[in-house]
Copies of this chain bind each other. A is one copy, B any other.
Amino acid sequence: MPAPTEQLDAVLAHVDANLDQSLERLFALIRIPSVSTDPAYADDCRRAADWLAGTLAAIGFEASARPTGGHPMVVGHAPAKPGPHVLFYGHYDVQPVDPLPLWNSDPFEPTLVPQDNGDIHIVARGASDDKGQLLTFVEACRAWHAVAGALPVQVSMLFEGEEESGSASLGPFLDEAGAELKADVMLVCDTDMWDDKTPAITTMLRGIVQEEVTVRCASRDLHSGMFGNAARNPLQVLSEAIATLRAPDGSVTLDRFYDGVKPLPADVAERWKRLPFDEEGFLKDIGLSIPAGEAGYSVLEQVWARPSCEINGLWGGYTGDGFKTVIPAEAHAKISFRLVAGQDPEKVRAAFRAHIRAHVPEDCSVDFVVHGGSSATVMPIDSPLLQKALGALSEEWDCEAAVAGTGGSIPIATVFKDRLGMDSLLVGFAKFDNRIHSPNEKYDLSSYHKGIRSWVRILAAFAAAETERA
């Protein structure tokens, strides 16, 4: 049997020749509206899981959709093989699509939209996050299977259905299936390119704490004429509490919030300074011009290396057409904190609750609901597999691949590090302007095509690492 590197060109040619069919498969998965946070879509989540299990089985995997307390987990194993064993992780669930009127097309009917610069966008919910991204890996395996009859290294896959809604079933599932999933490294594709032409491996991830808070004042909704002034207004109380979460200099005011947060290491800071990052353009692209985070930090530091506090939802009282002079009984907010290395999610959660409680009057009450949390993670950048992946990416994209941070949270990386001692290698082909979680989410057709090709090369490189070692 020829060595994987010798077959590489044939596999890449197969990818190119079969791109239309690869795209049809992505469309089929996108058309399943697997919104995990909304119970109305539970059946669709199951359909997406079954679709993936079937797809893996068709390319030589032993695969199944495993029931959990929430949405199913899909697990697949290719036949055992000597050399590195990689576990690929993705998620088949997607964010809700609201506000629906802002979409230019049906969020669950993928649409190819040609751009003036020649790019083609695949527009749909999940096109990028994470259906497009995860299928780059699956399609790479399909190409190896079709051309070589086997994969260059041992591959397992895990697809989760609750990534967008707190991953409640992940812990219990790993209690059962952890040993089965243990591999040398986890591959995660939930990240971005550095820019249109430069691939990136992400080595720094923020953690997150998510909380829902309800403030209750009067025992019922009140007429603001009869009670206005005398009765405490929970919307005023909650606004006042939220207003105290950020200091005028943009820092977060929770007690001991920055305890354990270290300055960016000098070598990392130096590397980031060299990155061609356009602060002004970054903000201008979203219609803004003034960085809102801590004074004295660059925008890149603010989003990659500094913890944040964001109000993700706020509601109470009358929000329909017209006007209602009501003093509502309750006010609600969904609030999250992005964390960096050194911060303990549970300490931040406790400080947040204490802070809000301290700002609610004595005769009112406050309740909290946990919506998940995870600590930040930093990956070692000297791992041989990471170095091999960097090389493969550089070959495919014909440039030096970047080593980057990200402001987002990929809790799975923390979970697998803590539970199974596995490091994660974060490689994704999303672009900065993919509007994930927003209306008109898109994935570039080139991300999909060259993403598949990149994984084809990375798998070959991993096998070569083994060959070199042998």
**Which residues of A102-160 have CB atoms within 8 Å of chain B's CB atoms?**
102
**A95-B324 contact, Cβ under 8 Å, with A242-B235, A288-B363, A314-B331:** yes
**A236-B311 contact, Cβ under 8 Å, with A294-B229, A408-B225:** yes
Closest to A248 in B: B240
| A363 CB contact (under 8 Å) in B38, B231, B290 | B290
Stretch at the interface among A61-69, A385-393, A431-439: A431-439
List 27 contacting pairs A-B, 8 Å CB cutoff, sorted by A.
A39-B321, A210-B323, A223-B436, A225-B408, A225-B409, A226-B406, A226-B407, A227-B286, A229-B291, A230-B293, A230-B302, A231-B292, A233-B292, A235-B312, A236-B243, A236-B246, A289-B363, A292-B361, A311-B317, A312-B323, A312-B326, A314-B317, A315-B315, A323-B334, A323-B371, A325-B336, A325-B409
A383 on interface, CB distance cutoff 8 Å: no
Chain B proximity mask over A86-98: 1 for CB below 8 Å, otherwise 0: 0000000001101
A37 on interface, CB distance cutoff 8 Å: yes
Do B219 and A286 touch across chains, with their CB atoms under 8 A apart?
yes
Do B325 and A210 touch across chains, with their CB atoms under 8 A apart?
yes
A368 on interface, CB distance cutoff 8 Å: no
- CA separation between A187 and B364, bound complex, in Å? 40
- CA separation between A293 and B229, bound complex, in Å? 4
Chain B proximity mask over A149-179: 1 for CB below 8 Å, otherwise 0: 0000000000000001110000000000000
Q: Which residues of B contact A233 (CB under 8 A)?
A: 292, 310-311
Chain B proximity mask over A233-247: 1 for CB below 8 Å, otherwise 0: 101101110111110
A222 on interface, CB distance cutoff 8 Å: yes
For residue A203, give the distance in angstroms from its CB to the closest CB of chain B.
16
- CA separation between A229 and B90, bound complex, in Å? 27
Do B306 and A325 touch across chains, with their CB atoms under 8 A apart?
no
Q: Copy number of this protein in the oligomer?
A: 2
For residue A257, give the distance in angstroms from its CB to the closest CB of chain B.
13
Closest to A294 in B: B229
**A225-B206 contact, Cβ under 8 Å, with A233-B311, A312-B327, A438-B220:** yes
- CA separation between A206 and B250, bound complex, in Å? 40
Interface centre among A210, A320, A406 (most CB of B within 10 A): A320
For residue A129, give the distance in angstroms from its CB to the closest CB of chain B.
8
Which size bracket describes the interface of A in this complex? Answer: 35 or more
6 further contact pairs, Cβ within 8 A, besides A227-B286, A317-B334, A323-B372: A217-B288, A236-B311, A239-B239, A240-B242, A240-B246, A289-B363
Do A239 and B311 touch across chains, with their CB atoms under 8 A apart?
yes
A384 on interface, CB distance cutoff 8 Å: no
Do B224 and A336 touch across chains, with their CB atoms under 8 A apart?
yes
Do A318 and B310 touch across chains, with their CB atoms under 8 A apart?
no
**A314-B239 contact, Cβ under 8 Å, with A217-B288, A230-B292:** yes
**Which residues of A321-367 have CB atoms within 8 Å of chain B's CB atoms?**
321-328, 331-334, 336, 338, 361-364
Do A225 and B338 touch across chains, with their CB atoms under 8 A apart?
yes
Chain B proximity mask over A205-219: 1 for CB below 8 Å, otherwise 0: 010101010000111
Closest to A206 in B: B225
Do A323 and B96 touch across chains, with their CB atoms under 8 A apart?
no
- CA separation between A229 and B305, bound complex, in Å? 10
For residue A210, give the distance in angstroms from its CB to the closest CB of chain B.
5
For residue A462, give the distance in angstroms from its CB to the closest CB of chain B.
28
Q: Which residues of B contact A217 (CB under 8 A)?
A: 287-288
- CA separation between A247 and B294, bound complex, in Å? 27
| A240 CB contact (under 8 Å) in B218, B219, B243, B408 | B243
**A227-B407 contact, Cβ under 8 Å, with A96-B324, A334-B323:** yes
- CA separation between A34 and B303, bound complex, in Å? 51
Q: Which residues of B contact A372 (CB under 8 A)?
A: 323
- CA separation between A236 and B312, bound complex, in Å? 9
A28 on interface, CB distance cutoff 8 Å: no
Which are the 4 A-B pairs with shortest beta-carbon distances? A225-B408, A37-B322, A219-B287, A229-B293
- CA separation between A308 and B291, bound complex, in Å? 35
For residue A239, give the distance in angstroms from its CB to the closest CB of chain B.
4
Q: Which residues of B contact A239 (CB under 8 A)?
A: 238-240, 242-243, 311, 314
